Amino acid sequence: MKNKQFILLVFSLVFSLCSWGQSSAEVTAVEVENESQLVDGGLYIMTGFADNSYHAMGYQGIKGAFYFSSLQDGSVSAHTLVADVQPHCDILQFQKKEDGWYIKDLTAEQNDDSHCYLCYDKAEVGYLRTTYLTSEKCLATFEKESGGFHLLIDGYAVRYDDVKGRYRLCDDAKKFNPVRLYHVQNTKISLSEQIGLDCIDADIDVSLHRVFKPECYNTFIVPFDIPNYKQLFGQEAAAYIPTACKEGLIYFTEVKSDLKANTPYLIFGKINIPANHVYEIGLVKASHKSNETLTYHIPGLTCYGTYKVDKFASKRNMYIFGDNNIVKVKDKSKVKASLNAFRWLLVCDKTPKADALRFEKVATEIKSLRISRKNDDRIYTLGGLYMGSSIQYLPKGIYIRNGKKIVVR
């Protein structure tokens, strides 16, 4: 069968007041018929194919358990075109690791990060499920036989049961109905600072959940360019990039227009805050490899970034930003600095001065560097993630301050 490219129609984006993004483009979907077509970090959809119809694939709670299903409004879906079924399918991502391919359900992960990688589940024999960790039960392989290109998880063929509307794992690839894979571009994807990304290689239409604190210095790094960032963050917001470190001082220069991918910035000023802290970025070309270290070096210091919730082993002269302070991480081997996604920290070659930060054409309000202490006004998540010293603009949840729990409603 020859590759067929389907042009999928999508609705126009609804922009928030903070949105600058381009108008939505047509989503494209190319059928995958050979393993060589797979892209590490690429985005895909899977559909069941029965009675010349396409069936949706989404991870759903059914009678107290989760399954991959084609149910829509309680009944089995059926669509004559891939364009029609695409909006009802979870976005899958293929990731290439040392031992082979793994498939992550990005849609399910955003809803509940315990649902991530497609797997064979012994507790639910015969059904395709997910797990939050990769293992041999998640390994995706492929077989080409007469009549099709088969996807297998842990050696079991992925098939579609059109009677129950569920996706199954079978010993026999001829049981039930086939599934089809499509490589998609320009599809809508939601990113969150609470989860982030392992990798990405796709043209995507991005909604980004990222909490910024106005009038504070916020670290920011993303795997795509943002043209004319003031249209996104507001005309009174300013972005700064580290440009020099000498004689105990760290110099930052204001960026006038575009933010570049994989580059550390400080965002400061009267930042626009949209509903639920979700910024409509628009169409971008995103790229980041899972084994790629996010570093930005200038003489005297190195910035380390992350696109997922991560911990960094303590280094000498390591600092993290919080509100209008930069806080020194203790120089102990067991201490780790925790960061939410799309942030960065810095490591200086030499200990900087107390008033080390210098900003081009701006009167800084940053206070002196502070050494970490057990008891102060700093706020942490229950997982130990530093969130600053003010409860203003914190997401709802339970936090720790001065050894006691506080609730933000």
8: exposed, middle or buried (C-beta count within 10 Å: 0-12, 13-18, 19+)?
Answer: buried
Q: Do 98 and 157 share a domain, yes or no?
A: yes
- The answer to whether position 236 is within a domain reads yes
Overall average pLDDT of the 174-185 stretch: 94
Answer whether 53's CB lies under 8 Å from 165's CB.
no
* CA–CA gap between residue 273 and residue 179 (Å, rounded): 42
Number of domains in the chain: 3
> In this model, does residue 86 exceed pLDDT 60?
yes
pLDDT band at 330, cuts 50/70/90? confident
Render pLDDT for 94-148 as a digit per residue (tens, 0 to 9). Answer: 999 999 999 999 999 988 877 899 998 877 778 899 988 888 899 999 988 666 6
So what's the pLDDT on residue 106?
A: 95
Above 50 in pLDDT, residue 13? no
Residue 375 predicted with pLDDT over 50? no
Q: 269: burial class by Cβ within 10 Å (0-12, 13-18, 19+)?
A: buried
A 10 A CB-CB count for 134 gives 16
Based on the fold, state whether residues 172 and 282 are members of the same structural domain: no
Alpha carbon distance 342, 364 (integer Å): 23
Helix (H) or strand (E) holding 157: strand 156-161
Tell me: the pLDDT tens digits for 45-59? 999 999 999 999 999
What's the pLDDT at 72?
A: 82
Residues counted in the chain: 409
Q: What's the confidence (pLDDT) of residue 18?
A: 34
Name the residue with tokens 């201490």. Answer: 335
Q: Identify whether residues 39 and 103 lie together within a single domain.
A: yes
Residues 323 and 384 in one domain: no
Residue 381 shares a structural domain with residue 344: no
The pLDDT value given to residue 393: 61
> For position 85, which CATH number holds?
2.80.10.50
**Is residue 11 a contact partner of residue 127, using CB atoms and an 8 Å limit?**
no
Q: Are 364 and 407 found together in one domain?
A: no
Whole-number Cα distances in Å, 162 to 57, 73, 156, 406: 12, 16, 18, 49
* Domain annotation covers residue 90: yes
- List the domain range (segments joined by +) for residue 122: 27-185
CA distances from 205 to 23, 166, 194, 269 (A): 9, 29, 19, 26
Neighbouring C-alpha atoms within 13 Å toward the C-beta of 189: 29
Q: Which range is most confident: 91-95, 144-148, 249-253?
A: 91-95
270 and 172 share one domain = no
Identify the DSSP state of 386: B
Which pLDDT score is estimated for 377?
A: 64
Which of these three, 166, 185, 204, is where a domain ends?
185
| Percentage of residues in the chain having pLDDT higher than 70 | 85
The pLDDT confidence band at residue 392, using thresholds 50, 70 and 90, is: low
What is the distance between the alpha carbons of residues 186 and 236, in angstroms, rounded to a whole number?
Answer: 30
Pairing verdict, β 179-185 and 249-255 = unpaired
Residue 61 has pLDDT above 50, yes or no: yes
d(C-alpha 268, C-alpha 218), whole Å = 6
Residues 116, 208, single domain; the answer is no
| Percent of the chain scoring above 90 in pLDDT | 56
Q: Is residue 92 assigned to a domain?
A: yes
Among candidate residues 152, 185, 218, the one where a domain is terminated: 185
pLDDT of residue 381: 78
Q: What is the pLDDT of residue 237?
A: 94
Q: What is the pLDDT of residues 256-278, one digit of tens each?
A: 889 999 999 999 999 999 999 99
Residues 335 and 394 in one domain: no
Interval 366-389 mean pLDDT: 60
Structural tokens at position 358 = 């210098």
Residues 180 and 201 in one domain: no
Q: In this structure, are 171 and 278 located in the same domain?
A: no
150 inside domain: yes
Q: Are residues 196 and 54 in the same domain?
A: no
Asked, for residue 3, whether it belongs to a domain, the answer is no
Compute the distance between CA of residue 235 and CA of residue 173 in angstroms, rounded to an integer: 57
Task: Please indicate, yes or no, if residue 298 is contained in any of the structural domains.
Answer: yes
Domain edge (last residue) among 165, 185, 205: 185
